[in-house]
Structure 1
Amino acid sequence: MTAQLSDTAPSRNASGAATRPALMLGLATLGFALNFWAWALLSPLGVHFKAVLHLSSFQQALLVAVPVIVGSLGRIPVGALTDRFGGRIMFPLISFATIVPVLFIGEWGYRSYGALLVGGFFLGLGGTTFAVGVPFVNAWFPPKRRGFALGVFGAGMGGTAISALTTVKLMNARDIHAPFLLTAAVLAAFGILAAIVLRDAPDRVRPSEPLARRLRAAARLRVTWELSALYAVAFGGYVAFGVYLPTYLKSAYGLTQQDAANRMAGFVLLAVLARPIGGWLSDRIDPSRVLALAFGVVACSALLQASTPTLAPTGTIAFFAMALALGAASGAVFALVARRAPASMVGSVTGVVGAAGGLGGFVPPLVMGSVYSRYGSYAGGLAALAVVAAGCLLFCVVQSRANAVRPAAERA
């Protein structure tokens, strides 16, 4: 019954506009990208802060990873709140709230390591918009189109590429304040636009139970934890390299800060382009098969890069292949969320799964920084990623075989 209502939602739109779902998807993707831009502001400046504040490799890794904490754990309550209040309220609310830590860092926080950690912690608010957009977009599209639609929305993670391409350049051209002031202005503009234009799907399912009860119900679902584990590796791997790649390239290959940031942007853009492809493929074949292929590529690429090959072409190929695979896997995971989570709990499940993905991105930079500080090499961290990805590959193969018989049972 829920699926039928979702299928007909666009046709019963009060405005009768066939383009309304596409417009809502576009605005949600824009909001996600702009908030992710804010979320990733500290990463391109990690090398700068290390030199100015005399930080160790671990301190630098912690600094660029801290925004992930709130951006991860905050997705759990934000996803449940979106189920209750809808994206029309939550998108502008989160965007306006994120302006506060952006301005704090740009005006005062950049002067000390402790203040940067505090500002970075609350900067993580920008990352919670993911848990707003998934249930918002999911309600606007029928099941057969949700994989691609959520993949397009997920491409908003390319906001980290905007940060990589502009932050250092703006600082060098103007001063340390410039990138933060620009980001705050853009967030304010989007918040106003979202408050005026965004509309929730007319047939979205509104939960009647309290938030705490819905979170407990989501935590009891097996699918929540299965997809959380997969997303922790898929999106977590993307986030980890998205925030730590400039540091890695500078330490392992001696690249300049700007060159490393540009290569990070290339990594991010490839992952962004691959995410809708992963969702599109998952609309047509079993998402578990898409995930199995993607994790196989990640395992091989990480194992190859563990030997620190020459950057041109071997290292570049390894990282670009990893970017494509991690992006496609991230899209496939949320195609599964749309298929397997109850309609009234998509936001709650998304919050938990999204939190796992963000936390998956918090740990690797700390591991990489610690391994490099102790051994002078990143080989151990990359080898560990290869092993974890191989484990995910085996799990997805088993799930794909189980899914071959599951549809018949579900129809019964």
Structure 2
Amino acid sequence: MTTKVPDAPPAADPRLKGGLGQVILATLASTAGFWAWMAIAPLQNIYAEKMGLDQGQVSLMLATPVLVGALGRIVVGALTDRFGGRKMFTGVLLAAVPAVLLVALAGSIGSFWLLVVAGFLLGIAGTIFAVGIPFSSAWFPPARRGFANGIFGMGMIGTAVSAFATPRLAQSIGYFPTHLLIAGVLVVMAALVWFFLRESPAWQPSRQPLVPKVKGALKLAVTWQMSFLYAIVFGGFVAFSTYLPKYLVTIYPDDVDAVGAGTRTALFAAVAVIARPIGGVLADKFGPKIISLVSLAGIVAAAYVVGQQPPEGVLTGFVFLLMAFAMGLGMGAVFAWVGPSTPPDKVGAVTGVVAAAGGLGGYFPPLVMGATYHAETNSYALGLWLLVLVGAAALVVAGMLRDARPAK
């Protein structure tokens, strides 16, 4: 009787050596971009008091960068397929510099509408995510792309940096110098990317025109399926990262000040960032479907508890951190689902559309929260109940989809 010797696992592609270092550099670039993208949210109370803004105006101010950052990802993702990560990272970082300086000017002179325009331009920084996913994926074999995208996704820590550092810097060195510092970080990061980032040898530029490429991505069922799921997990993260300071100081005015709200928001973002690569690794091991289901179930449960508006304290903090962890798991799992389900030449375009859907998922909740706020009871319960219902619908949809295991 002959015993069949199992096939040896395929050897790693030697051309991809050094990929982790490249992804880490891309992650640092994303961190700078996310810090700039979220530059307005941590100082929203200063703007509201200085300019006399109501709930609707605050929501518009917070949502505008998110909207532009979302829609711009469609174009940026497709352009990354053509021009590569090095050029696109550099371009996005440098394009965000004037927007940050305009935010500084608008806040200094107290102009709400100039701040909205600045926020519109600031959305450019938020498109950086659509650059990094195809760039990182090209540096790793299919079976490890969940890990690679999870590492790159940790660039979301820029939201935590913004929430924690921006209000403290504004207090210590002043409002205008704080924005000069952010602009300087963007310039330095762009220089590092230009001189040290390199494309994966496995990457090949796509010469397909932009519009047909996006249309081709929109014709794929996976694009719409993953867009819906990502709109919940990433959209929820963006929404809470921008609106949580406002939520906390409104619901718990006697317990949380602006700096404290920023610290809690930074912790929320940090937990989601830590959970994202965990979600990617677990998706590589167990399949993205099961991890997505766990994520969505956690989001629904946490949103229900938050909707009960428990007293500020350990329970509230734990529930928000649970929600952040669930969202992070889901972000890692969804993009691990995208990779093996998408034709290689359309990864950037599909990534851009899915990332845009995630950004749009973060655009509407702040507007909804502002519109559904009940002043007499000081409650956002209706907006949170909508999150519960949408999350439950996503749970059903994810359960109906076929799992996708990456090729070994």
| Match in the other structure for 2:223 | 224
| Match in the other structure for 2:56 | 58
CA contact (8 A) 1:9 1:203 kept: no
> Under a length normalisation based on structure 2, what TM-score does the superposition of the two structures give?
0.94
CA contact (8 A) 1:57 1:373 kept: no
- 1:318 CA displacement: 1.3
- 1:141 CA displacement: 0.4
Report 1:2-401 matches (<5 A): 10-12=13-15, 18=17, 20-108=18-106, 110=108, 111-254=110-253, 255-372=256-373, 376-399=378-401
How far, CA to CA, are the matches of 1:247 and 1:407 in structure 2? 40
What amino acid is the match of 2:42? P
Number of corresponding residues: 395
What amino acid is the match of 1:12? R
- 1:285 CA displacement: 1.0
How far, CA to CA, are the matches of 1:104 and 1:300 in structure 2? 40
- 1:337 CA displacement: 1.1
Aligned-partner SS, 1:45: helix
Coordinate RMSD, CA, aligned: 1.7
Aligned-partner SS, 2:175: coil
How far, CA to CA, are the matches of 1:70 and 1:120 in structure 2? 9
Once the two structures are superposed, residues 346-384 of structure 1 have per-residue CA deviations (whole angstroms, 9 ceiling, x without a partner) of 000000000000010010011111111566310011111
CA contact (8 A) 2:374 2:380 kept: no
Aligned-partner SS, 1:140: coil
- 1:108 CA displacement: 4.1
How far, CA to CA, are the matches of 2:327 and 2:279 in structure 1? 9
How far, CA to CA, are the matches of 1:91 and 1:140 in structure 2? 16
How far, CA to CA, are the matches of 2:189 and 2:301 in structure 1? 40
How far, CA to CA, are the matches of 1:299 and 1:343 in structure 2? 33
CA contact (8 A) 2:340 2:405 kept: no
- 1:396 CA displacement: 1.6
| Match in the other structure for 1:4 | none
CA contact (8 A) 1:10 1:21 kept: no
- 1:407 CA displacement: 7.1
Q: Which runs of 4+ in 1 moved over 6 A?
A: none
- 1:107 CA displacement: 3.0
| Match in the other structure for 2:7 | none
Over 3 Å counting, the alpha-carbon distance change for 1:54 and 1:92 in structure 2 is same
- 1:118 CA displacement: 0.2
CA contact (8 A) 1:92 1:191 kept: yes
What amino acid is the match of 1:57? Q
- 1:25 CA displacement: 0.4
What amino acid is the match of 1:270? V
How far, CA to CA, are the matches of 1:227 and 1:180 in structure 2? 35
Over 3 Å counting, the alpha-carbon distance change for 1:345 and 1:58 in structure 2 is same
Aligned-partner SS, 1:207: coil
Larger helix proportion of the pair: 1
Over 3 Å counting, the alpha-carbon distance change for 1:21 and 1:407 in structure 2 is closer
What amino acid is the match of 1:228? S
Aligned-partner SS, 2:41: coil
CA contact (8 A) 1:10 1:140 kept: no
What amino acid is the match of 1:338? G
